[in-house]
Amino acid sequence: MDKGIILGNNILDVVFVAWFVAQFYKVITSIITEKKITLKRFWETGGMPSSHSSTVSALTTAIGISQGVSSVLFALSTVFAVIVMHDAAGIRRAAGKQASVLNRIGQSLSKIFDDRFNEIQLKELLGHNPVEVFVGALLGIAVAFVMRFHLV
């Protein structure tokens, strides 16, 4: 296998492209919905599509293409991908919902106690709903197949 063009490793190149496309889509979406450029969306978690899902799906698919689906690396990557996607749609999403509740409690208390409880806003957009995870996974798989010439 040749060395990758972007990161010096073909599989990492595929993963990077999948991550970049997912994050770039979030910036484009913010331009359409908010009517302004929000470059911070490029680095933030949460939203459509899941870049966590796109990267681990691209990794798993790229390994499957280059090493074969019966390889130990493919099995390891598949388990890793399932754990990451489950975490994105489960635990991190729940943490984001909890942050939202705590922020609202802080806002309510700040009305009573002179803004002391409203100083720190917890980040609410942490995880993903199942559709965002699924679309991210499809994106990662698609990127790997589009770049398959790069892997063989």
- Tell me the CB-side half-sphere exposure of residue 113, using CA atoms within 13 A: 10
pLDDT of 145 reads: 94
Q: How confident is the model at residue 79 (pLDDT cuts 50, 70, 90)?
A: very high
- Per-residue model confidence as pLDDT tens digits over 34-77: 777 766 666 676 677 888 999 999 999 999 999 999 999 999 99
Q: How confident is the model at residue 3 (pLDDT cuts 50, 70, 90)?
A: confident
pLDDT of 42 reads: 64
- Per-residue model confidence as pLDDT tens digits over 80-136: 999 998 887 766 666 666 666 776 777 766 666 666 655 666 555 556 678 888 999
* Tokens linked to 65: 């293409």
**Residue with the larger pLDDT of the pair 117 and 146:** 146
Distance CA(4)–CA(19), nearest Å, equals 16
pTM of the full structure: 0.73
